[in-house]
Amino acid sequence: MDMKTIYLLIPLAPLFGALVAGLFGWAIGRRAAHTVTIAGVAVAFALSAYVLKTLVDGGANFNGTVYTWMTINGVDLNVGFLVDKLTAMMMCVVTFVSLMVHIYTIGYMQEDPGYQRFFSYISLFTFSMLMLVMANNFVQLFFGWEAVGLVSYLLIGFWFKRPTATFANLKAFLVNRVGDFGFLLGIGLVLAYFGTLDYAEVFAKAPALKDATINLFPSATWSLMSVTCILLFIGAMGKSAQFPLHVWLPDSMEGPTPISALIHAATMVTAGIFMVARMSPLFELSDTALNFVMVIGAITALFMGFLGVIQNDIKRIVAYSTLSQLGYMTVALGASAYSVAVFHLMTHAFFKALLFLAAGSVIIGMHHDQDIRNMGGLRKYMPITWITSLIGSLALIGTPFLSGFYSKDSIIEAVHESHLPGAGFAYFAVLAGVFVTAFYSFRLYFRVFHGKEQWMLNHDAHQHHDDHADEEVSADHHHGLGPNDKPHESPWVVTLPLVLLAIPSVFIGAFGIASMLYGHFFDGVIFVNAELHPGMEHLKEEFRNAAAMGVGSFTHAPFWLALAGVVVAWFFYMKRPDIPAAIQAKTGPINTLLENKYYMDHIYINGFAAFGRALGTVLWKVGDVLMIDGLLVNGSAKVVGFFSSVVRRLQTGYIYHYAFAMIIGALVLVSWWVFRILHSL
């Protein structure tokens, strides 16, 4: 098989599975549907791993066209692949996590009537995501970009009977469309000024356009690169849920847990990070854009972390944690540490997918109760889930030697090295974020796996979180443990993916850091202007090896901040549960602010959305109905009616009236004719 066939096969195998399960799922049944989709994704993963290995062994990058989608004015818009190490790494992450999620789904969705549909969707997602990361041009990037958005929409609304789910999926789609609005304009600027949408050609031309300017207002001249990059980044803000376009991600938890792990933690939401890293030759040309990226990332990293602290729904805590971690990646992008951002993307994909799937396992064990206040002591009943969750949490908070440590610590160091105006704030945000992350992660961990078995104590006090108050309408879930039920460990199809994800969560960081951050892994893929942004060069000089970095961390602030977070969580929730309650009571306004998620949803729903509907109503009722129809159309009808009523009086029906009019007319004509002749003489 030549390489091009392999590259084609990688996205097409999951697509095939999706089509078979989607179109013929009703005929072939459940087992065949999950077999064909899992086989498709397994093929894609095996081939992706092979591609990565070939590239690491010195194989050549691939950049070629599959077919020409459309040609206008001599510009070819293609479907084509660019396969380099960045692509190959993303392909492996996507297909591996997807494979785990496929297997997990057999257990998680076994009672669901939409079983085949679900498998079809997640395979379709895998196809879309692969098209996105493998693109060699902006058109296909945008195709993949919107296609993953579509599947995300379908999956958030998978349980379409729930009003909350269909609200959440519409919200997710529309907020993403706001981001895509900017993204599309950015692509438009690229085409207008570079004359092509092919990555390689655009990157080659970029340095020449470094000082190009654009006049958007008559008086103001802006740098083309800054405008373009910020517009492209607005797309990333939508997809990667950066403040202020983050609001859709927590609500996306209405979807089934496997897709929360696959789409809303490990892969789709990192598309924005990937895109900016891919566009590093453009972003490097604009410090304005990089600074913007960094500040947005810092806000997301810190303030979304705070929201994780007060949540009680197990999935939402992990969701806010995802938002915060995406903020970390974005900060790294702003600091020109693209490789670090991508590195954190990879480690995060493993441990966050693990945490989500573990949360799903807990939810199964708790019979679909998601409130951590009703849990406790589950470690005895769900040992595999417990251990793997602990590993995931430790990796997330940056415990030395685990994968999250290497990536997150590198981000903090990189921000420290940055000289952009926003770096000071960003550095504070990522440092403070370490404490917050550790605190909410272990608050969750302790409340779920340790302490009193709340589900034994207060059956009557079960409070399902509010969003599920309407749960009775949907038949697919029974809620919470009954009086005689005990939590139970999940079946092997659920726990096996947990174990398989826990392995890279531990080792991938130490394994990858030397080559990915300080070696030659991303040479020729990620471009950094070392003169302007020397941060990574400095870090490279200091870096010796992974073990030394781990040992060295004990003298650095982040380790102690993380430890403090764990200890405080332990003290608050294991020793003195009265303290958090007291704090909550004492800090009323802040607590209200956090519980209302900074009122962002409120502003969007009652502000923008309501304004849009009100404006639409005014334009319709006043503009169309009153002005155009009322005045112009019916008005002219009345005018016509008026004149016809006047003219009608002339139509008396008497022949002598008409004859009279005829004679007058003839007379006028004749006189005019005579007059003309006389005049011309």
Partner 1 sequence: MTGKLLSLAIWLPILAGLVVLATGGDKRANVARWLSLIGALAGFLVTIPLYTGFDMLNGGMQFVELKPWIESYNINYHLGVDGISMWFVLLNSFTTLMVVLAGWQVIEQRVGQYMAAFLIMSGLINGAFIAQDAILFYCFFEAMLIPMYLIIGIWGGPNRVYASIKFFLYTLLGSLLTLVAFIYLYYQADGSFAIADFARLPLGMTAQTLILVAFFFAFAVKVPMWPVHTWLPDAHVEAPTGGSMVLAAITLKLGAYGFLRFALPIVPDACRQYAWVFVLLSLIAVVYIGLVALVQTDMKKLVAYSSISHMGFVTLGFFMFAGGTQMNSFAVEGALIQMISHGFVSAAMFFCIGVMYDRVHSRKIADYGGVANKMPIFASFLMLFAMANSGLPGTSGFVGEFSVILGAVQVNFWYAVAGATTLIFGAAYTLWMYKRVIFGDVANEHVAELTDVNKREFLVLAVLAVTVLGMGLYPKLFTDVMHVSVNDLIWHVSQSKLH
Residues that bind partner 1 (CB under 8 A): 67-73, 142-143, 145-147, 150, 153-154, 157, 160-161, 163, 166-167, 170, 173-174, 177-178, 180-181, 184-185, 187-189, 191-192, 214, 216, 473-474, 612-613, 615-617, 619-620, 623-624, 628-629, 632-633, 636-637, 640
Q: How far is the CB of 216 from partner 1 (least distance, A)?
A: 6
Which two tokens mark 516?
């990915």
Q: How far is the CB of 149 from partner 1 (least distance, A)?
A: 8
Q: Do residues 546 and 354 touch, judged by C-beta distance below 8 A?
A: no
Q: How far is the CB of 237 from partner 1 (least distance, A)?
A: 14
Block residue for tokens 């590239």? 55
Q: How far is the CB of 147 from partner 1 (least distance, A)?
A: 6
DSSP state of 84: S
Q: How far is the CB of 24 from partner 1 (least distance, A)?
A: 13
For partner 1, the closer of residues 253 and 411 by Cβ is 253
Helices (DSSP H) in 311-402: which residue ranges?
314-334, 338-365, 383-397
For partner 1, the closer of residues 121 and 386 by Cβ is 121
Q: How far is the CB of 623 from partner 1 (least distance, A)?
A: 7
Q: Following CA atoms 10, 14, 17, 22 in sequence, which dihedral angle do they give, to the nearest 10 degrees?
A: -150
For partner 1, the closer of residues 112 and 453 by Cβ is 112
Q: How far is the CB of 470 from partner 1 (least distance, A)?
A: 10
Q: How far is the CB of 536 from partner 1 (least distance, A)?
A: 34
C-alpha 567/C-alpha 654 separation (Å) is 108
For partner 1, the closer of residues 140 and 454 by Cβ is 140
CA-wise closest residue to 347 among 427, 401, 406: 406
For partner 1, the closer of residues 486 and 621 by Cβ is 621
For partner 1, the closer of residues 523 and 624 by Cβ is 624
3-state class (DSSP) for residue 529: coil
Torsion angles phi and psi, residue 422, rounded to 5 = -85, 0
CA-wise closest residue to 296 among 345, 253, 236, 338: 236
Identify the H or E element spanning 65.
strand 62-72
CA-wise closest residue to 529 among 290, 274, 233, 213: 290
Residues 6 or more apart in contact with residue 10 via CB below 8 angstroms: 44, 47, 48, 51, 91, 95, 130, 134
For partner 1, the closer of residues 69 and 507 by Cβ is 69
Q: How far is the CB of 159 from partner 1 (least distance, A)?
A: 10
C-alpha 628/C-alpha 483 separation (Å) is 66
Q: Do residues 399 and 512 touch, judged by C-beta distance below 8 A?
A: no
For partner 1, the closer of residues 67 and 656 by Cβ is 67
3-state class (DSSP) for residue 216: coil
3-state class (DSSP) for residue 654: coil
Q: How far is the CB of 555 from partner 1 (least distance, A)?
A: 50
11-20 burial code (b ≥16 CB/10 A, e <16) = bbbbbbbbbb
For partner 1, the closer of residues 119 and 406 by Cβ is 119
C-alpha 360/C-alpha 357 separation (Å) is 5
For partner 1, the closer of residues 557 and 609 by Cβ is 609
